[in-house]
Structure formats: structure tokens, C-alpha cells
Amino acid sequence: MTEAQGPQGRVLVIAGSDSGGGAGIQADIKTITMLGGYAMTAVTAITVQDTTGVHGVWPVPVEAVTGQMQVTLADIGADAIKTGMLGSAALVESVAECLAANASMIPRVIDPVMIATSGHRLVEAKGVEAIRSELVPGARLVTPNAPEAEVLTGKAVETVDGQRRAAEQLLELGANGALVKGGHIPGSKITDVLQTTTGEWIFESPRIETTSTHGTGCVLASAIAALLAQGESVPEAVEQGRDYLMGAIRAAKGFGKGAGPLHHGWVLDDED
């Protein structure tokens, strides 16, 4: 890509595979495509997963993950990078090194995936510290939910003020932006707090009563990455990404016996 061409919507996703299709790279690919982007992947783990939980995890060798990253970036290039499930400190460190060597100027959206919707832990303790020290600094945006923000910052995140304090701490750790999501905080509405080096934005929406919540974090982070990759500002990407997410939750088809997936293709239904 030359500078004159501008953003072309290419997003490299570095994340795990979800056999149920509700989260992970499957959700990322569908989301990015629905929003007009072009998704590429570096698969970090194969999970045996459905709406009831995670039944097994097989990490992909670190060399295979970084190899996927290197060839994709060298050949196709990227306008944004999104990270998801990175299960170990060794993997986090290798991904960070690969990005520094091959994609230092490409905006990164870091979704610090730690626990699946079902409650299964997806990253080791040392991996969390590596995310904090290796991936948060320099990120265009970090997108933790309330429990993830508490782990990353040590701040209690039970109110909007707590979300603000956590966002401030993430910026102090070196992030250029932090979106601390409020879906895990009880209440009739969901409040997400965005802070960047230039300001603060508060996003509110009514809570949708549903059991179809599998992969919401993956979808929002990928939606934001897809929009950044097409030239949107961070606040605009967050606003549009939230709109896409809410539409996908409302249109969910109720698949599965547990926490069901969203309907990623709802925008196509909306056009009919």
C-alpha cells in the first residue's frame, strides 16, 4: 500500500479458532466481512467449543503463529491488526516481537481475551502480565470488559467511575486508547467508557435481555478494527462498532443449548 492509496480495509486477526463459530476467528472473519473489510488470520489455538463451553484447547506452535503473521503482512499487508486469544506469555512475547519487526506503524486493537463466556480460562497468569507489558503499550485501542480491566489495572471496575479509572491506568501503561466495556456491570443499561490521548467519550445503550452473548467481545473489537482499517477515527469506529454489535445481538437466532452466538449477517437481512 502506498500512502496515496489510503486505507483499504485489510485486517489481520491474531486469535484462536472457535468450532462453534460464535467467537474467535470465525466471528472475527464474519464481522470484518460484514463491515466491508478484508479479514486475514493467524490462528493461535484450536478450541473444541460450543455454546455450552470450552471442552478442549490445542495451542498452535509459536513458530506457526508468527509464520502466518509474517507471510500475510509481507504479501497482502494490513491496515489494522486485532489480537484476541493469546494463551501463553511466550506467545504474547513472540507476537509482540513480530509486530514490532513487521507492523510497527499499523494500528492495533488489543482484545485482552482472558475468560470465555462459559467461564473457561483462556490465558495463563504470566500471559496476562505479558499482555500488560508487551501489547498494551502503543496499542491504538485496548478493549477489556470489566473483569479484564480489573486484572490488567488492579482497579475495581463496578461503576462508571471505576471504568474511567481503569481506562486512565491503561493509558498510563502506554495505550493510545482504552475502551472499558460495561456489559458485566449490572443494570438496565450498558455503559462503555472510551478514553484516548485526546479525550473521553461515554457510550450508553439499553441492555438487551438475551442468552445469545457468545463472542460479543470478539465481535466488537473486530468491528472497530475493520472500521479503523477503512479510515474511521477511534470514537467513530467505536460508535459504529457498537451499533453493529447491538444489531447482531438483537437478531440472534437462538442457536445452541447455552450462550448462543450472535447473528453476524444481520446487516444483510436489514437490506432485504
Give the active site residue among 213, 247, 256, 265. Answer: 213
Catalytic annotation present for 213: yes
Catalytic annotation present for 98: no
Give the active site residue among 9, 82, 87, 218. Answer: 218
* Residues with Cβ within 8 Å of residue 54, at least 6 apart in sequence: 47, 48, 116, 118, 120, 122
Cα angle 146, 152, 155 (rounded to 5 degrees) comes to: 65
Cα(35)–Cα(93) distance, rounded to whole angstroms? 30
Catalytic annotation present for 138: no
Catalytic annotation present for 218: yes
Return the H-helix or E-strand segment holding 260: none
Give the active site residue among 181, 182, 196, 241. Answer: 181
Give the active site residue among 20, 87, 177, 215. Answer: 215
Give the active site residue among 20, 162, 217, 241. Answer: 217
Give the active site residue among 216, 231, 241, 247. Answer: 216
* Residues with Cβ within 8 Å of residue 115, at least 6 apart in sequence: 121, 122, 147, 148
Phi/psi of residue 11, nearest 5 degrees:
-125, 125
Catalytic annotation present for 41: no
Rg (CA), the chain: 17
Catalytic annotation present for 215: yes
The catalytic residue positions are 181, 213, 215-218
